[in-house]
Structure 1
Amino acid sequence: MAKSPVHPGAVIDGFVVGECVHAGGMATLWSVTRADIDRPLLMKIPRVAEGEDPAAIVSFEMEQLILPKLSGPHVPACFGIGDFAHQAYVVIERIPGETLYKRLPELPLAYEEARGLVTGIATALADLHKQHVIHHDIKPSSIMFRPSGEAVLIDYGLSCHKHLPDLLQEEFRLPYGTAPYMAPERLTGVRNDPRSDLFSLGVLLYFFTTAVRPFGETETLRGMQRRLWRDPYPPRQLKADYPPWLQEIVLRCLEIEPKGRYPTAAQLAFDLSHPDQVKLTARAEKAKRDSITTVWRRRFNRGLVQPESVADVAAQIASSPIVAIAVDTAEGTDELNGALRLAAARILAPLPAARLACVNVLKLGRITIDRTLDEQGKNKHVDRLVQLRHWASPLKLDASRLTVHVLEAVDPASAILEFAKANQVDHIIIGARRDSVLRTLLGSVSAKIAAEANCTVTVVRPPRLAAGGMAVAEAAKPAKR
């Protein structure tokens, strides 16, 4: 038998092959080096021998198409691909450490630890979706964490990209994926809805906090189809101390219909980052599975069994932004606050899935000792939270779409910018005050935010009477990403 071209010491397109580090069912991984690349590398080789699953070849082609188009800390960097005419491969960076699969013997994890892990994964998913990719195989063995803390999503053989052909969809009729984590709509052929990844992440969060998979270990298509009408046991039925906010998040991710889940991974990450502000519904207190009547109604209602598909990943994200508005409750004039409210209403009106984060900065002194109570003995932080909710009340937003945040910082502009970055804010609305000598010398908060934010920024000026008696406001152009 001819020697395989891939073996220790072989040279493929300048890559020197080292040891085989993993032999999986669809591909093998080899350590490789190249003189001009100073970081550890892995070469992934598909299994193409006689009798191998044809889907393994197609999924490898998808990985070859998608990986070179990805960038950022949440994906492995790609350094080369080889075609099937000579030797098919992809070369990616070798991320130190193990996948989350290695943590399964430790389950269940503490709630706070699981929350931190899944927040990082949701953040990675949000970044991936913005690059027009749906992963379709979110599970413990597809997730790693960099030493710097960022979650990294690996294995893109089952993924689809908005701007690339979906070879799996074109060539196969059966859904491919990991059965315990597969979203219901995947069983009906829907592959262009990013909320499928949120369902899988909900399964992972359920599993990591209860040590029980919500839909069991079944691998049969018939068994998997039950999730089209059958909900899982609520986590609190398995663990009496399960936090209501966490059950709310988990069960929202596991809604059978995609429209019942979080609209975006960024909004899921936001709720995980602010558990004290999660809007609790009947999900949070649910102690039993749905009644048999509800289950049978789902089973024989074709509208529910065949969920609606979204237009594409970009459209889903664009329709569900996170908007942050900076409200100055201490010094803000009624005119400016009214203008800010009007701007927020106009931006949110065509976006029913958008959410609004009202932010106020409690400015700290650089060298003074700050007091938590004001002259009337009220807690400053709590008082401003109340004021923010009062400011937002005329907008009449559903409680699930509104959060309020008081940040304590010496530099208000930096605090708002950091909040926007940490919470994947898509749009910042901030007021600009009238000119003053101090602001001329030191620069304004709104100017710094407009200059440095990596998202769209709208700057609203207090209304002034223009010719003809019309109130006017100014809006900044979107900041460059």
Structure 2
Amino acid sequence: MAKTRLESGTRLDGFLVGDLVHRGGMASLWEVTREGDPEAYLMKIPVLQEGEDPAAIVSFEMEQMIMPRLKGPHVPRHIANGDFAVQPYIVMEKLAGETLLPQLKSLPLPVDQVAALGAHIADALDALHGQGVIHLDLKPSNIMFRPTGEAVMVDYGLAHHRELPDLLQEEFRLPYGTAPYMAPEQVMGIRSDPRSDLFALGCLMYFFATGTRPFGDPQKLKGLKQRLWRDPVPPRILRPDIPPWFQEIVLRCLEVKAGRRYPTAAQLAHDLRNPGQVQLSARAEKLSKDGFFAVLKRKGEPPMTLIDKPPDREEEASDAPIVAVAINLDDMTPALAEKLRNTALRILERSPQARLAVLNVLKLNRIAMDQSLDEKGNNKHVQRLVSLKDWARPMALSQGRLTFHVLEAIDPADAILDYARVNNVDHVVMGARANSAMRKFLGSVSAKVAAEAPCTVTVVRNRSLDG
């Protein structure tokens, strides 16, 4: 079972753990080496301590899925992943140098320097977007530079990959990102628009050129939503020597509607490198924020009407349903486990493009405080995740076709129903409660799901069940 702590000198899957490089809120970074290999690497370990947000575990799962698929100079080279059943980790290339975070002590920077930085970062975003990935957490601490000059984007825990299920989108209802850099559509829960990264880059360039964050650093959803209707102070008010072309570029990146921003990161990079060719609009000469009535009008509109739809993706197969299998790990016999697998496989055989989502509900107390670690110090969420993967292993499904979700809720039936509604599930498969007395006194989760689900529900029952 996964450890909650790692120490220097530990040997893990052929890697020798060295010095602690960084300890963050969601993960720690350690230098590691392996025998016969002169190169030192970084090992990223998720934090699995008491009270840890389950989203941290899900984001680490996403990063483990996304990083092996990324190539090129703008991403750290992926080396290895560790299994959650033993110790989850990601080993990656150790990049020389620092992130952009120390640069904050020197702000504001010369405009030409900010434009050059922005162009290199836009190149990296263009490469990522070309591989189907939206970073969704662009900020100074997630940007490094190679000695050869290429910008490198690090930390893919909040990223979206168009060819992979978005576990964060499916399991959680809160917007995830770093407050000063989040795009309006991210605030509203949309994670599939590459232009969200261009908004974040606009925030970064504004900050680096003026020393002021365009939207501050709000810590609550109400403050985040203000960027839907309140425009930032034009950069040239804060720093009069900023040229019109730079303000034009930055304010275009910061448009609320994504359709008014640059359509691609490549076009943004081109303008940053060719200021004389930037087409100026009223944005370039703007010397005041929008007036009271303009803001009031925007504020009076339903928020989603201010958000553009993401660009159309490539046409997908029409027969691509989502099949959810709800597993009760506390009441599962080997026979029922096998029957659930066979039922799910029969459904998948009829729909070659279907995806299987394997669910379990970690039931929370209504009154008492919940503990995220068990009496042995193991993370309950991770334990259940490992058990779900063990259940699904005999099915031999490919990674992109299979996802695992540990939902935390007081009422298991409500959690399953909520997941089915939000994620447009086409078919729910679940087992009946094994004990008839338990069904009598606690009620039937499967009966409630079958009665209220917006999709087909198949309840699997062993013939040997009593009652």
Instruction: Give the TM-score normalised by structure 1.
Output: 0.64
Alpha-carbon separation, structure 1, partners of 2:134 and 2:83: 24
Alpha-carbon separation, structure 1, partners of 2:3 and 2:76: 30
The aligned residue for residue 301 of structure 1 is: 301
Q: Deviations over 1:387-412 (max 9, x none)?
A: xxxxxxxxxxxxxxxxxxxxxxxxxx
User: Is the 1:133–1:313 Cα contact (8 Å) retained in structure 2?
Assistant: no
Aligned-partner SS, 2:112? helix
Are 1:157 and 2:157 an aligned pair?
yes
Change in Cα spacing, 1:80 to 1:275, as seen in structure 2 (3 Å) is: same
Residue 5 of structure 1: CA displacement? 6.4
User: Is the 1:180–1:213 Cα contact (8 Å) retained in structure 2?
Assistant: yes
Alpha-carbon separation, structure 2, partners of 1:306 and 1:14: 52
The aligned residue for residue 291 of structure 1 is: 291
Alpha-carbon separation, structure 2, partners of 1:311 and 1:244: 29
Residue 139 of structure 1: CA displacement? 0.4
Alpha-carbon separation, structure 2, partners of 1:5 and 1:173: 29
Residue 297 of structure 1: CA displacement? 1.3
One-letter amino acid of the structure 1 residue matched with residue 160 of structure 2: C
One-letter amino acid of the structure 2 residue matched with residue 10 of structure 1: T
One-letter amino acid of the structure 1 residue matched with residue 202 of structure 2: G
One-letter amino acid of the structure 1 residue matched with residue 133 of structure 2: V
CA RMSD of aligned residues (A): 1.6
Change in Cα spacing, 1:3 to 1:214, as seen in structure 2 (3 Å) is: closer
Alpha-carbon separation, structure 1, partners of 2:140 and 2:5: 32
Residue 9 of structure 1: CA displacement? 1.3
One-letter amino acid of the structure 2 residue matched with residue 57 of structure 1: I
The aligned residue for residue 233 of structure 1 is: 233
The aligned residue for residue 8 of structure 2 is: 8
Residue 311 of structure 1: CA displacement? 4.3
Residue 308 of structure 1: CA displacement? 2.6
User: Is the 2:3–2:87 Cα contact (8 Å) retained in structure 1?
Assistant: no
Question: After superposition, where does 1:87-98 map in structure 2 within 5 Å?
Answer: 87-98=87-98
Alpha-carbon separation, structure 1, partners of 2:313 and 2:123: 16
Change in Cα spacing, 1:80 to 1:52, as seen in structure 2 (3 Å) is: same
Aligned-partner SS, 1:31? strand
Alpha-carbon separation, structure 2, partners of 1:278 and 1:115: 13
Question: After superposition, where does 1:399-414 map in structure 2 within 5 Å?
Answer: none
Aligned-partner SS, 2:197? helix
Instruction: Give the TM-score normalised by structure 2.
Output: 0.65
Alpha-carbon separation, structure 2, partners of 1:67 and 1:56: 16
Q: Deviations over 1:201-243 (max 9, x none)?
A: 0000000000000001221111111001110000011111110
Q: Deviations over 1:351-400 (max 9, x none)?
A: xxxxxxxxxxxxxxxxxxxxxxxxxxxxxxxxxxxxxxxxxxxxxxxxxx
Alpha-carbon separation, structure 2, partners of 1:196 and 1:260: 12
User: Is the 1:193–1:312 Cα contact (8 Å) retained in structure 2?
Assistant: no
Aligned-partner SS, 1:170? helix
Residue 3 of structure 1: CA displacement? 8.5
Change in Cα spacing, 1:286 to 1:308, as seen in structure 2 (3 Å) is: same
Q: Provide structure 2 residue ranges, at least 5 long, that are not aligned to the other structure.
A: 316-467
Alpha-carbon separation, structure 1, partners of 2:292 and 2:146: 45
Alpha-carbon separation, structure 2, partners of 1:312 and 1:159: 19
The aligned residue for residue 259 of structure 2 is: 259
Aligned-partner SS, 2:219? coil
Question: After superposition, where does 1:358-437 map in structure 2 within 5 Å?
Answer: none
The answer to which of 3-12 and 73-82 deviates more is 3-12
User: Is the 1:193–1:313 Cα contact (8 Å) retained in structure 2?
Assistant: no
Are 1:57 and 2:57 an aligned pair?
yes
One-letter amino acid of the structure 1 residue matched with residue 141 of structure 2: S
Alpha-carbon separation, structure 2, partners of 1:279 and 1:226: 28
User: Is the 1:20–1:30 Cα contact (8 Å) retained in structure 2?
Assistant: yes
Identity of aligned residues (%): 58
Alpha-carbon separation, structure 2, partners of 1:310 and 1:26: 29
Q: Deviations over 1:6-53 (max 9, x none)?
A: 211111111110011110000000000113543220000001122111
Alpha-carbon separation, structure 2, partners of 1:313 and 1:232: 31
User: Is the 1:298–1:304 Cα contact (8 Å) retained in structure 2?
Assistant: no
Alpha-carbon separation, structure 2, partners of 1:3 and 1:41: 20
One-letter amino acid of the structure 1 residue matched with residue 284 of structure 2: A
The aligned residue for residue 44 of structure 1 is: 44
Residue 302 of structure 1: CA displacement? 2.5
Aligned-partner SS, 1:129? helix
Are 1:111 and 2:123 an aligned pair?
no
User: Is the 2:29–2:44 Cα contact (8 Å) retained in structure 1?
Assistant: yes
The aligned residue for residue 102 of structure 1 is: 102
One-letter amino acid of the structure 2 residue matched with residue 9 of structure 1: G
